[in-house]
Amino acid sequence: RMVVQRGAEPGQGALATHGAGVGVGRGEPHQHGAVRRLGGPSPVAGRNRAEIEDLIGFFVNTLALRIDLSGEPDIAELLARTKRQVLAAQAHQDLPFDQIVEAVKPARSLSHPPIFQTMFAWQNIEDGRFDLPGLAMSQVDSEDTTAKFDLTLSLGENDTGIVGELNYSKAL
């Protein structure tokens, strides 16, 4: 409720909470030693223009996000920071994530993906049923047994509240 009262989306509130939880004791120390910024991506549907909303296809891109945990913000401030960061990233969502990786030139390793090791996904899709003439379709749940990142938190909202799943590397 507080998230909506502050003009943010539920996914932004969940991302702020995730950032605070994952960011405890982690992130990048600032030159003064007190600033913490937690990096992490979030997938975006890539359907930001009306002319492509009804197209069938896979348009997903990854938004590079940084959650600013400096100064030990209270939840209202953290939510405001997260909302600003998400909106800024969404304004540039057409920039392919691969180009960001190319520009940053991170050290590469076969043991982990470049730039980030955690993923947050907010799924704001309907109930998983599709109505197409002549076809009966429904969502099929699959068990994702291989972690692609150290930690992936996927959340969404349904009639009962916020639901989701956590996938993590057993090597942690």
- The gap from C-alpha 68 to its chain's centroid, in whole angstroms, comes to 15
Across 36-40, average pLDDT:
56
Residue 108: HSE in the Cβ half-sphere, 13 Å Cα cutoff: 4
Encode pLDDT of 96-137 as tens digits: 888 888 888 888 888 777 777 888 888 876 655 667 788 877
Encode pLDDT of 23-32 as tens digits: 654 544 433 3
The residue that leads in pLDDT, 76 or 146, is 76
The residue that leads in pLDDT, 169 or 49, is 169
Contact 129, 98 (CB under 8 A): no
Of 45, 22, 55, 36, nearest to 123 by C-alpha is: 45
The pair of structure tokens assigned to 78 is 């953290």
Q: What distance in Å separates the CA atoms of residue 154 and residue 160, rounded to the nearest whole number?
A: 16
Average pLDDT value over all residues in the chain: 77
Instruction: Report how many helices (DSSP H) and strands (DSSP E) the chain contains, helices first.
Output: 4, 7
Q: What distance in Å separates the CA atoms of residue 120 and residue 15, rounded to the nearest whole number?
A: 7
Residue 140: HSE in the Cβ half-sphere, 13 Å Cα cutoff: 3
Q: What distance in Å separates the CA atoms of residue 78 and residue 86, rounded to the nearest whole number?
A: 12
pLDDT confidence tier of residue 80, bands split at 50, 70 and 90: very high
Q: What distance in Å separates the CA atoms of residue 168 and residue 133, rounded to the nearest whole number?
A: 39
pTM over 0.85: no
* pLDDT over 60 at 33, yes or no: no
Note the pLDDT of residue 41: 67
